[in-house]
Structure 1
């Protein structure tokens, strides 16, 4: 009050009154309260974003469900990634990625079906395409993450993928696909004839005519099983390789064709295909003294199921014996795999010695 009186006397004397000056000497609202008022809209926005994020995660959990844990050691996790989700959050749409989804599942109460068993920090060490399912490695600590990243960099990680195509091989049934990769005008990738820094893929095929129950030409039916052994790790490498072989992968929205291998105008992808039929099935790496060998049969999508001897379909989630598709996959692995550890796992699986998709297949193999 004394300050206001002093300012009034100055105004009478000079004939002027500076309101800004008065506010500076005697602010009507304390500075900390003004700060809170300025931040409150942002706080409201954050609250709305958090609510929307939770809704997105809840909706995602209804579609994807729990994430199976395939392998766990002191520093390493291996999970079975579902198709239809990117590795990282989408910066444009804000859609959550797979790492965020895992962390969401970690936050769930342990007793719930969605809960992810490991609750500690996770590090992403490699990626799978949004369309691809299968084995994905996660590290529990920075040192393990560094070691795994070094293994991928030095190309000492052995990986095998399986895919289904609605076409039959018109040229080679096995061999190599080599070539540089470049962006096309549509933004997808294409294989070039040059080989200055080539993408390298070994492939093998097996016919599936008897398993599909029809010998008629039908692009919507799986006719060929493709086994891929990538020697490099480029974006969309296997999908581009399949297209170059004339064996586009069923359900592929970018590298399929108009005869049924990809959703076409007027046909919903959910009506024809539940997914792109590419799956990371086998992986082996030496992590110091730890020899990590993981086999994961493809459990996603109705086309992976097969007819039983009694008719109808068997789901890989409920079967006790390998399905005919799985036998076909493991037979082609045993015949062509260049990794003894993975060959052993597939051989034992065929014999029914070890349980399919066992969380710690390496240890199980030793005991058997």
Structure 2
């Protein structure tokens, strides 16, 4: 796997890559290929390969942060844990909300021990909050293109919150209709991330371009290749300068 071509940001402390959908970030209990297998490509002269600062689900694409050494990973870990890292996701959902924006405040807990990381709304679970705004809708109202901003970092938070509102993410194999044969892949993309890595500087902001597997559904909701839709979709990112 060529990760050099998917590099979005590089400095002396961290890297941000555009994770492809369908590839797990690390080896699971059953083994098999993972993104970590290719991290040695990203050493850029350092004695060790970078390591994951957080994770994305196997079927989620977009911004994935790697720490280049131990101190950087410790700093990133604290920032993620304290909620100081801002994350933005793009998703195409089945159906959609009537409003143009809103917030989901719904505690989440594990479905059951046998289901591993599967989650469900649970009033006794951990507080979970997600903001959202509509970026476009298909003419037949079958699909809606939504920008999600999670304010907490629960497992599968956006996927469960979206399903609980009655508009599951298109292609979700766990919480939506993606279990059916011939279903599309999960339409969830980690669009942007802002990392206040150094107190003396502004946050490092990185954006990942729209993934190929989501473009058709996004276009059905009004998205265009130039990055615009009728409802003020942010412009597509310019190429980021890579600097040590």
Q: Structure 2 length as normaliser, TM-score?
A: 0.83
Aligned to 1:97: 34
Q: Which moved more, 1:281-290 or 1:244-253?
A: 281-290
Q: Are 1:90 and 1:96, in contact at CA under 8 Å, matched by a contact in 2?
A: no
Shift of 1:242: 0.9
1:129 to 57, 60, 78: 57
1:247 pairs, out of 141, 161, 167, with: 167
Which structure 2 segments of 5+ residues have no match?
none
Could you tell me which runs of 5 or more consecutive residues in structure 1 were left unpaired when the two chains were aligned: 1-60, 107-115, 308-313, 315-321, 333-345, 351-355, 364-368
The match for 1:226 is 146
Structure 1 CA distance, aligned partners of 2:108 and 2:148?
17
Per the alignment, do residues 359 and 119 of structure 1 end up closer, same or farther by CA in structure 2, a change over 3 Å counting? Answer: farther
Equivalent residue for 2:19?
A: 81
The Cα shift of 1:168 comes to 2.8
Distance 2:231 2:26 in 1: 32
Bigger Rg over Cα: 1
The secondary structure found in structure 2 opposite 1:79 is strand
Q: Cα deviations across residues 226-272 of structure 1 (Å, max 9, x unaligned)?
A: 11110111111110011011111111111113xxxx242xx334xxx
* 1:75 Cα deviation after fit: 1.3
Runs of 4 or more off by more than 6 Å in structure 1?
none
Which of 70, 91, 96 is matched with 1:163 structurally? 91
Q: Say which structure is richer in strand.
A: 2
Structure 1 residues 303 and 91, CA, compared in 2 at 3 Å: closer, same or farther?
Answer: same
Which residue of the other structure, out of 281, 291, 295, is the alignment partner of 2:191? 281
C-alpha separation in 1, matches of 2:108 and 2:76:
25
SS at match of 2:168: coil
CA distance in 2, matches of 1:280, 1:144: 21
2:216 counterpart (290, 300, 303): 303
The structure 1 residue matched to 2:107, chosen from 180, 190, 193, is 180
Decide whether aligned partners of structure 1 residues 279 and 203 sit closer, same or farther in structure 2, where only a CA change above 3 A counts.
same
Aligned partner of 1:199 in structure 2 is 128
Tell me the secondary structure at the aligned position of residue 144 of structure 1. Answer: helix
Are 2:130 and 2:152, in contact at CA under 8 Å, matched by a contact in 1?
A: yes
Structure 1 position 306, deviation (Å): 3.7
Aligned residues: 233
